[in-house]
Structure 1
Amino acid sequence: MARTAILHLLRSHSKRLPTSNFLSGYQPCKSGAWARGVNAKPSFNSGVGINAFQQRWASQAAAKEDDGKISIGPRKVEVGKDEKDSGIVYYGPISSTIQRVKLLSLSTCCLSVSLGPVITFMTLPDMNVILKGAMTSSVMFLSASTTAALHWFATPYIHKLKWKPGSDSFEVEMLSWLATYTPRTIKFADIRPPETQRPFVTFKANEKFYFIDADHCQNKALLAKLEPQKAPTRESAFKNL
């Protein structure tokens, strides 16, 4: 009975599936099962076989794995055709990071200034009014000072630079107090050495400081123009006296 049932199931499945794909080269034996002939070769000419299904499943799994990868650090910016036509030659590698940190600092400063006094007076009802005012003022001053310090450090950073070879000026995009991009046009004739102890400064123009990351600037001719050399100082004639 068991052999007859197995044989019946195999015959019913063989009617549904193409025999040229899966059952070619198999012959019924005395035991009631199916056995492959010695010289028979399998045929996978028509239909989708098991190997094709496995390859498709593996490719889909690899694509999902690539989409789910997390990249660490700034992404590499590729300049496209439209961007080349517009004259963009430089992108700040940490431009988006600076903007997000600045937005976070501005939001925390606004919350501390607006909600700081309310929270202090509501959570500490038994404290002296003078102490409450001093605590609120210190929190507001600390938040405002950190926001101002961040703006002072990030102000010279150039986020985008546009320049066409042969032009005597170029355009840069900087961040404002509200973390919005503002364009500025600078002439090469206005560029001066920074002559300051301020960190992250490359050149000075129109009484303002600017910083460009030399490692990520591919146009070395432009970089040479943006890094003016200091004029040699004359030695005094009475130095050796």
Structure 2
Amino acid sequence: MAEEESGVQQVPTIDTDVAHSPRIWNYWLGGKDNYEVDRRVGDEFRELFPPIVDIARSSRAFLKRAVQHLAGEAGVRQFLDIGTGLPTVDNTHEVAQRVAPESRIVYVDNDPIVLAHARALLLSSAEGATTYIDADLYDTSRILEVAARSLDFDEPIALMLMNILGHVPELGQAREIVTRLVGALPSGSYLVVADGTTDGGPFDAAIEMWNNAGSLPYILRTPEQIAQYFEGLELLEPGVVACSLWRPENGHVGAPAPVDEFGAVGLKR
């Protein structure tokens, strides 16, 4: 089952002369929804900061492991994923519904190009449902109101905020957004967050280039600042750590290398 809660939408005109943040991320993940300009900016970023591809892939692997745990051991059947981005591999609904086909997923994004790819994203298992909402992260009231048409807010929900809070300029404002969203969730719900972290050097320089190039601005924060999003929640082990170090899969040869993106999963009691 698939739905779109935002009504009839015009397919946007795609400007292939201007780099687009979700398409660049898609390129780093090995996706095909990108253009020459995106690959050029992505390569320029990688020249300044080669580990960015490892960060992108570690972030996606963290999402996969977190959703597998939540849909499996934790028994969560509802996911609210805000800041969807372009579909690649192991999207939230694919991971959750592999574990529990009846899982219901609501994706939220307000990027018109992401919206144009929604049809590719809205592929659900027959037992579950996948819904797409066209809404802004700042408009938490609308997100919660429309999500409630698909999700049962009397049952646990996993709130996914992957690489989106870094787009909120002020930490206090980002914390307020998280507080409003988590506050609407019932007990037994979870918060999953991952964002890039400052290294005081090459990563910061590359992000400055990114922001100056007209891409959607992004703010690197410290692990301690990311931990603030989880105040009042019970952190699952191993806490707030580099995404690559959050419950790495068995069979990994050697110790996983840390990356400059930290993530965590927190439980609302």
Compute the TM-score of the two structures, normalised by the length of structure 1: 0.23
**Which structure is higher in RCO with an 8 Å CA cutoff and minimum separation 6?**
2
- Choose 1 or 2 for highest CA Rg: 1
More helix by share: 1
